[in-house]
Amino acid sequence: MKMHLLEAHGGKSALMGLGLSYGLTTPYETWDGVPEETKLRLYKIAEKLCTRDGGENKFLRQMMYVWSVEGPRYWWQEASTYKVATVEQSSSTMHTIMHGELVQENFETPIPIDHLYHLNRLLAKYKETKSEETFLLLKNDLPEGFLQRRVWSLSLANMKNIYHQRKHHRLPQWHLVCQAFVDATPGFLQGIYDDAD
């Protein structure tokens, strides 16, 4: 599995919104117009509230992260549990496998060589005949370890939730994801990952 951050945005506007509740910002100014001492106060308030739930840390929902992830289909099935305010765009499995023969690098871990030959025979047959039956057999026989690339967008609130639910999960992919989340989160908000268990 591979994962890297493409983009993080919304942090400044989330802090501007947080400042509205405290009379520190107005809806008519920009982050560049906020005095430095006010920015420091906003960071401290965010640091204090980021671990609280019940709406006090709703500013985390405006901080968006866009990730490039290449993961096995069995991991993506679990990741699809988190569908609140998340977006995914994926490479089509069938379009991906039509570009050439399948090789071991297309899978999270090596698959039996006879199964790889079987898949490539089905793939060649489908390319030749365009048979719907062969297409369905190929889809059916493709292992869950097949790697699929997706661009995954989610908020810092989503990341916090996933971290606390999956940090001790037995699938090692979740450990990589949780560490990527921690590494991408600004230092003053690291408290969202503090262990409460």
Q: Residues 6-62: pLDDT tens digits?
A: 999 999 999 999 999 999 999 888 999 999 999 999 999 999 999 998 889 999 999
pLDDT digits (tens, 9 = 90+) for 78-134: 998 887 667 778 777 777 788 889 999 999 999 999 999 999 999 999 999 999 999
**55-73: b or e for each residue (b if 16 or more CB lie within 10 Å)?**
eebbbbbbbbbebebebbb
Domain boundaries defined on the chain: 2-71+76-86+149-193, 91-145
For residue 23 the two structure tokens come to 């009379």
Each residue of 152-197: pLDDT tens digit? 999 999 999 999 999 999 999 999 999 999 999 999 999 999 875 4
Measured distance CA(160)–CA(164) in Å, rounded: 6
pTM given for the model: 0.89
